[in-house]
């Protein structure tokens, strides 16, 4: 079988590895528009902040005998002949084709937009860092997840930063208004000036002009205005396209020989912009194309968003925007302490956690993520989930009481039991566990938990010795 993957990002490279793990003989060719080997795009904010280097965010590639066409774009698909045409004039035949073309940054249609730098790729990150070295100030346009991370990263380097957002509060897709306000105040305390309900009308050489006529100073302007799925290749090939390339539960497009995964795919009306769904989709397609599990299906993903910004802890999941329902169908448990940058909110329906926001120190974030992910029943008094010091019978984040079924790494679906099994098989430190399970290689927020479990296992061995 000849498998061609268009896209060498987090979805495409993962698919190649998943296929090779299941089948050593399939011929795999991957086209990547970027010239570098795949890296973890989620962790680019760490590179921007200076807490990680470029090599530290490279993705492990376990796809031997793979042909990687780096820096080569695919320009057309000939579905009848089952051939893709590349920008360098070559043609590559396929038996199965997978589109993992990802997304492209949205550039606002304002004068001077060409002076700004989008924050999307490693090259973008390097351009931003080079400009930051000589700039006297920066303006980040877009107060979503990526914009907040970019602003915090630049401020951490000592650069005066203004974060401009069109909506009424930051991260309005993941947070309610009060959480957005608390986040803005926390960022202000870290050197980021926040301007919400601010419309940018022009970008100048030394600043950004707002609709009010005010000019915010900043020689470096970073765009984090969202992304849109790259669907042109699929559309030109006559495949059904909505917001993304439309796929079924097998991740197949309108052509049964062509699949789509990751940020370019639209499943059941949803386009996912996070890494965990892309990797779940890659596993399903790998099962199907290799025959490892012909019953594999993708049923959608339960999203947990984690902010990766130094000194700001934030997790949001599910239907976090919901408010109390007068009928009692929806219950909201909320606590806010703005002076300390803390906001905690649980959204409960039929004794199940359907949404949560945890901003600031949140010792029970692991427990809540497990409850949300598994849909398990909540304790009779859910206040204990916000304040772990209360005497409420809740699962603990401690490795001692954490069940083996508890999912530690959401991005890679790694449970405590799997970590234990790897440890018992000889993976006696965190690096070895990461190599065996891929835990921590997604958003990276589970590293402390993985290290804690490995440390606890080592302590147990010493006690029993």
Could you please state the CATH topology (level 3) that the domain comprising 313-396 is classified under.
Enolase-like; domain 1 (3.30.390)
Distances (CA, A) of 79 to 32, 93, 231: 20, 10, 16
Topology adopted by domain 2-104+228-290: FAD/NAD(P)-binding domain (3.50.50)
Question: Which pLDDT value is given to residue 375?
Answer: 83
Q: How far apart are CA 230 and CA 101, in angstroms?
A: 6
CATH topology of domain 113-225: FAD/NAD(P)-binding domain (3.50.50)
Q: What is the pTM of this model?
A: 0.86
- The answer to whether the 113-225 and 398-465 domains have the same CATH topology is no
Question: Cα separation of 170 and 180, whole Å?
Answer: 5
Choose among 219, 235, 258: nearest CA to 80.
258
**pLDDT score for 117:** 96
Residues 6+ apart with CB under 8 A from 332: 322, 323, 324, 345, 346, 347, 348
- pLDDT for residue 458: 81
Q: Which two tokens stand for residue 221?
A: 């302007």
Burial class (CB in 10 A: 0-12, 13-18, 19+), 459: exposed
- State the pLDDT at residue 392: 40
As assigned by CATH, the class of the 398-465 domain is: mainly alpha
- Residue 391 has what pLDDT? 42
Query: Please, what are the averages of pLDDT over each run of 10 residues along the chain (465 residues)?
Result: 96 94 94 92 89 87 80 97 97 98 95 95 94 95 96 94 97 95 95 97 95 96 96 98 98 98 97 93 98 97 86 92 86 91 93 93 83 84 72 49 73 83 82 83 77 80 60
Domain boundaries, the chain: 2-104+228-290, 113-225, 313-396, 398-465
Predicted local confidence at residue 396, as pLDDT: 45
**At 307, phi and psi to the nearest 5?**
-85, 130
Q: Spell out the residues 6+ positions from residue 255 whose beta carbon is closer than 8 angstroms to its own.
A: 79, 237, 239
56: left (phi over 0), alpha (psi -120 to 50) or beta: alpha
């Amino acid at each position: 079988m000849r498998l061609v993957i268009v896209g060498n990002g987090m979805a495409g490279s993962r698919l190649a590895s998943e296929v090779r793990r299941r089948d050593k003989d399939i011929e795999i060719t991957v086209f990547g528009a970027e010239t570098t080997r795949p890296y973890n795009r989620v962790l680019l904010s760490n590179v921007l902040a200076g807490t990680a280097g470029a090599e530290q965010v490279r993705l492990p590639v376990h796809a031997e005998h793979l042909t990687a066409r780096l820096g080569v774009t695919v320009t057309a698909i000939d579905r009848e002949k089952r051939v893709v045409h590349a920008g360098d004039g070559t043609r590559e035949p396929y038996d199965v084709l997978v589109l993992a073309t990802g997304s492209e940054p949205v550039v606002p249609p304002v004068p001077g937009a060409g002076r700004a730098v989008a924050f999307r790729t490693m090259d973008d990150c390097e351009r931003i860092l080079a400009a930051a070295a000589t700039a006297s100030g920066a303006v980040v346009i877009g107060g979503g997840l990526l914009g907040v991370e970019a602003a915090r990263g630049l401020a951490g380097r000592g650069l005066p930063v203004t974060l401009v957002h069109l909506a009424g509060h930051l991260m309005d897709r993941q947070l309610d208004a009060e959480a957005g306000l608390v986040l803005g105040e926390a960022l202000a305390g870290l050197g980021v000036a926040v301007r919400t309900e601010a419309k940018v009308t022009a970008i100048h050489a030394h600043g950004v002009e707002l609709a009010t006529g005010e000019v915010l100073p900043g020689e470096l302007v970073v765009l984090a205005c969202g992304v849109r799925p790259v669907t042109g290749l699929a559309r030109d090939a006559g495949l059904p396209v909505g917001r993304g390339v439309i796929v079924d539960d097998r991740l197949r497009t309108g052509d049964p020989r062509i699949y789509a995964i990751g940020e370019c795919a639209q499943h059941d009306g949803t386009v996912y912009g996070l890494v965990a769904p892309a990797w779940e989709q890659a596993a399903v397609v790998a099962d199907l194309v290799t025959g490892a599990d012909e019953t594999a299906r993708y049923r959608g993903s339960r999203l947990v968003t984690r902010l990766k910004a130094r000194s700001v802890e934030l997790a949001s999941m599910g239907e976090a925007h919901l408010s109390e329902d007068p009928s009692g169908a929806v219950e909201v448990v909320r606590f806010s302490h703005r002076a300390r940058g803390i906001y905690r909110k649980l959204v409960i329906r039929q004794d199940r956690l359907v949404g949560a926001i945890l901003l600031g120190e949140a010792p029970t974030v692991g427990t809540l993520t497990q409850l949300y992910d598994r849909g398990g029943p909540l304790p009779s008094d859910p206040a204990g989930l916000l304040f772990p010091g209360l005497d409420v019978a809740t699962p603990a984040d401690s490795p001692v009481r954490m069940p083996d079924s508890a999912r530690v790494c959401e991005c890679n679906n790694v449970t405590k039991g799997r970590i234990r099994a790897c440890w018992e098989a000889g993976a006696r430190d965190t690096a070895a566990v990461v190599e065996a399970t891929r835990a921590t290689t997604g958003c990276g927020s589970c590293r402390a938990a993985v290290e804690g479990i490995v440390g606890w296992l080592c302590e147990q061995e010493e006690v029993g010795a």
